């Protein structure tokens, strides 16, 4: 990897052990030749791996002995020529403690300097414009070193040796505070001071961060937060919080040791943690949500801003509703002028948008929800050579992936591809990745769904008048469509380096099935090269199709009509419809008009949430299941009947009808929603275990967005492990659709390999 300080580390270690020789970055890795007394060499060999810099990841190392050449000194040799495409671009890292100590030291030349960084920390991916990773090819190119910074940069024993973004108040970028018209009202420290004051007064601040703008507001000020929601047209989706330090985080959430370590890590993600009952956080920050997403400052800039504000701040992406995050001052001013009262900007350009990452922390484990700043574009290494493959991912929570060598480079979170701007961002990321690694793929992989914007983009490559000119070279490259839930299974296997066969429990909201229906509650037995659909949820219809996603009550009525007949109209969901709506929905379902068939587990969660009157309509996907999970009694272990049934000639299906009937009876009998919800979760875990019991597979992979549900994941895993199965869950990529692109690569690589064998 470049930019982790490996060469200076080797230099320091060799010097300390009085060894001579050289170190060189040579494209596919670091080469070191050292000579000296044998016991020093052994100690070197051990420590070079054990004490490697924080941000280095050693994928492989090997050692050979040779005759001494009689080196007089130890030197850092410069790699000649061009960085080969296998070089790993580092992710952005939060400002380290050593740098922050300087920022807080009134006698230091970097006192209160927002852009302080070193070889161990600071921006990387968001400043890289091309490879090799060298200052002229970063967005720091326009800032010429002062003498002091140059000296640090050139001294192998300095902790800023070859720190490409090295800067100081004399030579580096600076901040300014702008009003909504773009007039500078304050500069440097005064700008940060006034920004803090504006936040304390309840104003909305647009602040240029590492990978884009944040919109910030006092997290305890309800009217200010509500105003931000109104202006941003964001109804109920939770907003993230930036706390000034761990103490502030602990005042609003239960922070486990794991969570504390994660918050303070170089990746510095948003951690989703249980909110405290006494948290001084405005209700509008995360309505109906028992968790809060909290991060700590990820740069000196943010530390200073949080200190100036003196309180936790809402810090949400600086964009309009679901558009990509703004990265330039001009764009932010144009897009956010109606939202923000003041703008805290600076003159270091952002090379590409990178959102904050999100990690779910659940007691003893963490799961990636959104992989962006701090993680992207670090690869998942599959441990074997792969053909060059470009995978364009799904449609929602999109990421793309590029396989080069043995690495699968995963893009930052791009988001839902519903708007033209989002689709532009998607195209730019593809171009960016192909440029950066200078490769032309052998194969293009996309989802089986013909209507996904990502699929459509690949389709358009064939049409000269519709494809971007830069993409001409992609026009004739072979393509492969991969089934969505197979990609989920393959992603989970790939990140664990497991070939399978395994039983993939792929549970999510939606994915196009190979029979043309909407899948989402699947049991797929297979490997990367293929699968058999061995079971699923019992299919049901979604009255109104997409409308049912926004209105769980529609799904609820469909489920209940199937489970208990006409009595469905008397349920909490049924009574929300008037007589003519009921007739219409019943007829849609009976005739199968505008009521597509699905096996979606996500929709089953939706429907049950509506039957329990937790939520009849939603403003974002996953809202109803999240609230259903939130109310579940943690102790309750009861279950409802959820049999695995096989009709003639059909695959076995988990029949939810007895489950729905029993939970409605429970409710009518006065059982609390908390207990009913818990029993529903327990039943699903039991149902999954029932299917697994019928299948000859030692390994079970739990993938798909439903496994962000901590209760479902934990209880399913416990049951399966008790039954002696090996259970794989996601650690590197999100279980949701952010992980699809990795699975697509794995499927495609297996496809190419099996074709070669034939
Ligand atoms: Zn540092
Ligand atoms: Zn300087
Ligand atoms: Fe999915």
Asked, for residue 335, whether it belongs to a domain, the answer is yes
More confident residue, 112 or 362: 112
* Predicted local distance difference test score (pLDDT) of residue 650: 82
At 62, the pLDDT band (50, 70, 90 cuts) reads confident
**Domain final residue pick, 341, 361, 381:** 361
Q: Please give the DSSP secondary-structure letter assigned to residue 128.
A: B
pLDDT digits (tens, 9 = 90+) for 158-180: 999 889 999 999 999 999 999 99
Measure 299 CA to ligand 1 centroid, in angstroms.
10
Ligand nearest to the CA of 491: 3
Measure 397 CA to ligand 3 centroid, in angstroms.
9
CA–CA gap between residue 357 and residue 373 (Å, rounded):
5
Same domain, 394 and 303: no
The environment of the single-atom ion ligand 2, i.e. residues with CB closer than 5 A, is 146, 149, 168, 170-171
State the residue for tokens 């070669």.
756
**The domain spanning residue 65 has which CATH number?**
3.30.70.100
- Tokens encoding 443: 């194969």
Could you tell me if residue 755 is left (phi over 0), alpha (psi between -120 and 50 degrees) or otherwise beta?
Answer: alpha
Ligand nearest to the CA of 174: 2
Asked, for residue 494, whether it belongs to a domain, the answer is no
Measure 737 CA to ligand 3 centroid, in angstroms.
5
The β-bridge partners of 307 are none
Measure 137 CA to ligand 3 centroid, in angstroms.
37
Same domain, 341 and 378: no
Same domain, 426 and 351: no
Asked, for residue 71, whether it belongs to a domain, the answer is yes
CA–CA gap between residue 356 and residue 756 (Å, rounded):
41
Asked, for residue 724, whether it belongs to a domain, the answer is no
Who contacts 498 (Cβ-Cβ below 8 Å, separation ≥6)?
699, 701, 728
**The domain spanning residue 351 has which CATH number?**
3.90.870.10
Pair type for strands 74-77 and 175-179: unpaired
Same domain, 397 and 466: yes
Ligand nearest to the CA of 707: 3
Q: With 80 as the cut, is the pLDDT of residue 627 above it?
A: yes
Measure 173 CA to ligand 3 centroid, in angstroms.
42
* Predicted local distance difference test score (pLDDT) of residue 61: 83
CA–CA gap between residue 324 and residue 316 (Å, rounded):
12
CA–CA gap between residue 34 and residue 37 (Å, rounded):
10
pLDDT digits (tens, 9 = 90+) for 610-624: 999 999 999 988 999
* Predicted local distance difference test score (pLDDT) of residue 79: 65
Same domain, 228 and 357: yes
Residue range of the domain that includes 48? 6-76
Same domain, 345 and 279: yes
Asked if 105 contacts 155 with a C-beta cutoff of 8 angstroms, the reply is: no
φ and ψ at residue 415, rounded to 5 degrees: 110, -170
Measure 548 CA to ligand 3 centroid, in angstroms.
17
**Domain final residue pick, 480, 512, 533:** 480
At 82, the pLDDT band (50, 70, 90 cuts) reads low
State the residue for tokens 């096989």.
646
Same domain, 380 and 443: yes
**Domain final residue pick, 480, 497, 516:** 480
Asked, for residue 545, whether it belongs to a domain, the answer is no
CA–CA gap between residue 692 and residue 677 (Å, rounded):
23
CA 634 to chain centre: 27
Measure 511 CA to ligand 3 centroid, in angstroms.
6
Who contacts 667 (Cβ-Cβ below 8 Å, separation ≥6)?
611, 612, 673, 676
Measure 102 CA to ligand 2 centroid, in angstroms.
14
Same domain, 286 and 407: no
Cα separation values, 679 from 124, 638, 662, 664, Å: 47, 5, 10, 12
Same domain, 354 and 430: no
Same domain, 301 and 220: yes
Burial of 218 (0-12, 13-18, 19+ CB in 10 A): buried
Q: With 60 as the cut, is the pLDDT of residue 441 above it?
A: yes
pLDDT digits (tens, 9 = 90+) for 113-142: 999 999 889 999 999 998 778 899 999 999
Ligand nearest to the CA of 522: 3
Asked if 174 contacts 113 with a C-beta cutoff of 8 angstroms, the reply is: no
On the CB side of 422, CA atoms within 13 Å amount to: 20
* Predicted local distance difference test score (pLDDT) of residue 400: 98
Same domain, 355 and 209: yes
Pair type for strands 241-242 and 291-295: parallel
Asked, for residue 644, whether it belongs to a domain, the answer is no
Length of the chain: 758
Asked, for residue 95, whether it belongs to a domain, the answer is no
More confident residue, 59 or 689: 689
**The domain spanning residue 378 has which CATH number?**
3.30.420.360
Ligand nearest to the CA of 98: 1
Ligand nearest to the CA of 512: 3
Same domain, 327 and 470: no
Measure 151 CA to ligand 2 centroid, in angstroms.
9
Ligand nearest to the CA of 159: 1
CA–CA gap between residue 213 and residue 191 (Å, rounded):
16
At 524, the pLDDT band (50, 70, 90 cuts) reads very high
Residue 387: closest CA among 406, 369, 409: 406
Measure 519 CA to ligand 3 centroid, in angstroms.
9
Measure 104 CA to ligand 2 centroid, in angstroms.
17
CA–CA gap between residue 745 and residue 747 (Å, rounded):
5
At 85, the pLDDT band (50, 70, 90 cuts) reads very low
CA–CA gap between residue 578 and residue 434 (Å, rounded):
54
Asked, for residue 634, whether it belongs to a domain, the answer is no
CA angle, 611 then 613 then 615, to 5°: 105
Could you report how far apart the first and last alpha carbons of the chain are, in Å?
37
Q: How many domains does the chain have?
A: 3
């Amino acid at each position: 990897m470049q930019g982790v300080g490996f060469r200076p580390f080797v230099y320091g270690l060799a010097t300390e052990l009085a060894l001579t020789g050289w170190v060189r970055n040579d494209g596919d890795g670091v080469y070191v030749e050292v000579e000296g007394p044998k016991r020093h060499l052994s100690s070197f060999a051990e420590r070079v791996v054990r004490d490697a810099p924080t941000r280095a990841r050693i994928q492989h190392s090997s050692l050979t002995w040779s005759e001494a050449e009689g080196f007089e000194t130890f030197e850092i040799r410069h790699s000649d020529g061009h960085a080969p495409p296998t070089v790993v671009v580092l992710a952005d890292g939060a400002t380290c403690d050593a740098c922050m100590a300087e920022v807080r030291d009134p006698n230091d030349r970097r006192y209160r300097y927002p852009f302080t960084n070193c070889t161990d920390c600071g921006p990387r991916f968001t400043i890289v414009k091309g490879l090799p990773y060298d200052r002229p090819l970063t967005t720091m190119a326009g800032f010429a070193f002062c003498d002091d910074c140059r000296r640090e940069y050139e001294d192998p024993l300095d902790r800023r040796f070859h720190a490409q973004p090295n800067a100081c108040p004399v030579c580096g970028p600076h901040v300014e505070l702008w009003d909504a018209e773009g007039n500078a009202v304050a500069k440097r420290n005064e700008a940060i001071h006034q920004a803090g004051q504006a936040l304390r007064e309840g104003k909305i601040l647009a602040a240029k961060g590492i990978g884009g703008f944040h919109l910030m507001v006092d997290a305890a000020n309800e009217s200010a937060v509500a105003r931000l929601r109104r202006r941003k047209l964001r109804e109920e989706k939770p907003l993230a919080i930036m706390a000034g330090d761990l103490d502030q985080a602990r005042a609003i959430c239960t922070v486990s040791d794991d969570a504390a370590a994660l918050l303070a890590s170089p990746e510095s993600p948003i951690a989703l943690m249980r909110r405290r009952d006494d948290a001084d956080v405005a209700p509008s920050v995360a309505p109906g949500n028992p968790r809060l997403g909290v991060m700590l400052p990820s740069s000196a800039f943010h530390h200073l801003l949080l200190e100036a504000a003196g309180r936790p701040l809402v810090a949400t992406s600086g964009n309009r509703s679901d558009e990509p995050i703004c990265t330039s001052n001009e764009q932010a001013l144009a897009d956010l002028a109606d939202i923000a009262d003041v703008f805290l900007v600076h003159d270091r350009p952002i090379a590409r948008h990178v959102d904050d990452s999100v990690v779910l922390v659940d007691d003893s484990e963490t799961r990636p929800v959104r992989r962006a700043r701090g993680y992207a574009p670090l690869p998942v290494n599959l441990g074997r050579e792969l053909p060059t493959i470009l995978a364009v991912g799904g449609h929602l929570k999109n990421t793309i992936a590029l396989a080069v060598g043995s690495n699968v480079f995963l893009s930052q979170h791009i988001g839902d591809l519903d708007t033209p701007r989002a689709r532009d961002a998607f195209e730019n990321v593809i171009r960016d990745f192909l440029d950066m690694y200078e490769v032309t793929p052998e194969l293009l992989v996309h989802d089986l769904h013909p209507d996904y914007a990502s699929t459509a983009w690949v389709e358009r490559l064939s049409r000269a008048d519709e494809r971007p000119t830069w993409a001409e070279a992609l026009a004739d490259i072979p393509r492969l469509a991969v089934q969505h839930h197979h990609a989920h299974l393959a992603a989970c296997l790939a990140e664990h380096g497991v070939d399978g066969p395994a039983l993939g429990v792929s549970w999510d909201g939606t994915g196009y099935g190979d029979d043309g229906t909407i899948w989402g509650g699947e049991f797929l037995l297979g490997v990367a090269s293929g699968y058999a659909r061995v079971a699923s949820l019992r299919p049901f219809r979604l009255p109104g199709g997409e409308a049912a996603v926004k209105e769980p009550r529609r799904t609820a009525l469909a489920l209940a009509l199937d489970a208990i007949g006409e009595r469905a109209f008397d349920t909490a969901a049924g009574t929300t419809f008037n007589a003519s709506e009921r007739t219409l929905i019943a007829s849609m379902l009976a005739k199968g008009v505008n009521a597509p068939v699905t096996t979606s587990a996500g929709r089953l969660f939706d429907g049950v949430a509506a039957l329990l009157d937790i939520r009849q309509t939603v403003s974002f996907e996953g809202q109803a299941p999240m609230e259903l999970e939130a109310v579940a009694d943690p102790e309750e272990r009861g279950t409802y009947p959820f049999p695995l049934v096989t009709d003639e000639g059909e695959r076995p299906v988990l029949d939810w009808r007895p489950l729905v009937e029993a939970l409605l009876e429970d409710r009518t009998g006065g059982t609390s929603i908390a207990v009913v919800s818990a029993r529903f979760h327990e039943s699903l875990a039991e149902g999954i275990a029932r299917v697994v019991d019928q299948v000859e597979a030692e390994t079970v992979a739990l993938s798909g967005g439903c496994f962000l549900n901590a209760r479902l994941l934990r209880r399913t895993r416990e049951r399966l492990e008790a039954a002696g199965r090996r259970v794989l869950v996601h650690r590197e990529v999100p279980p949701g659709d952010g992980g699809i692109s990795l699975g697509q690569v794995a499927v495609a690589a297996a496809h190419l390999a099996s074709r070669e064998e034939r």
